[in-house]
Amino acid sequence: MSEIGQVSKNDKEFDHTINGPIAVKKESTGTMIHFKEPPILMAHFPATLVEKFIRLGYEEKYNSHIDILRKGQIGRDMFLICQGRISVWKQNILLGELVKGDVFGELVMFRDHYRIATVKTEEPTLVLRYNRQCLLDFFSRQDPRYFNIYTMNIIEILRRKLIATNERVVKLEEQLIQQ
């Protein structure tokens, strides 16, 4: 068996992982979900699983300057941005921006928790909402290695967010030193 996230040449399911564009029609709404490449959340998934995963998400559309989440709310859902741009705020301080292909609320996969920031749309935005229980049910019907890959993808997302946060802290510290 191959390592998590690695593609084995003897594994026919993994031979069909998506490296290029994705286009999936949401049956319930007729909306086409497009990505130039798989979001990190779905890296190393076979094409059929990517399609099922996208179809599993509940489609939500927001106008500009709308709160999707508020700090302090109990989180039970994760979101995948399919169109638009959002900003993340805490105590009136911009923590970052997320765009198409990014996710937020990814920690709910592991347990309910209070939201640590407010997430707002900066422009008209389309997201797919994934309830934790639906995700757990979904992965319970798949080969267990896909949940392992999914978990590794979440860890990669968190690693990238931590690196960005560290870079921001360093810049702020440098600004303080120069004052």
pLDDT single digits (tens) 108-121: 888 888 899 999 99
What is the pTM for the complete model shown? 0.85
Residue 3 confidence (pLDDT)? 36
Q: Please check whether residue 163 lies inside any domain of the structure.
A: yes
Alpha-carbon gap, residue 104 to 119, rounded angstroms: 9
Q: Please check whether residue 1 lies inside any domain of the structure.
A: no
pLDDT, tens digit, 9 for 90 and up, residues 51-104: 999 999 999 999 999 999 999 998 899 999 999 999 999 999 999 999 999 999
Exposure string (b/e) for 141-162, b if CB count within 10 Å is 16 or more? eeeebbbebbeebbeebeeebe
Q: Please check whether residue 118 lies inside any domain of the structure.
A: yes
Residue 126 confidence (pLDDT)? 96
For residue 84, the enclosing domain spans 58-173
Alpha-carbon gap, residue 88 to 92, rounded angstroms: 10
Residue 81 confidence (pLDDT)? 97
Positive or negative CA dihedral for 102, 90, 59, 105? positive
Name the burial class of residue 95, with classes exposed (0-12), middle (13-18) and buried (19+) by CB atoms within 10 angstroms of its CB: middle
Residue 118 confidence (pLDDT)? 95
Q: Please check whether residue 101 lies inside any domain of the structure.
A: yes
Average pLDDT over residues 12-27: 68
Average pLDDT over residues 16-27: 76
Flag whether pLDDT at 165 surpasses 60: yes
Flag whether pLDDT at 149 surpasses 90: yes
Q: Please check whether residue 144 lies inside any domain of the structure.
A: yes
**Residue 72 is part of a domain; what is its CATH number?**
2.60.120.10
Q: Please check whether residue 7 lies inside any domain of the structure.
A: no
How far is CA 3 from its chain centroid? 23
Most distant pair of Cα atoms in the chain: their distance: 59
Flag whether pLDDT at 12 surpasses 60: no
Flag whether pLDDT at 4 surpasses 60: no
Tell me phi and psi for residue 81, to 5 degrees: -80, 120
- Where residue 27 falls among pLDDT bands split at 50, 70, 90? confident
DSSP type of residue 43: T
| Number of folded domains that form the chain | 1
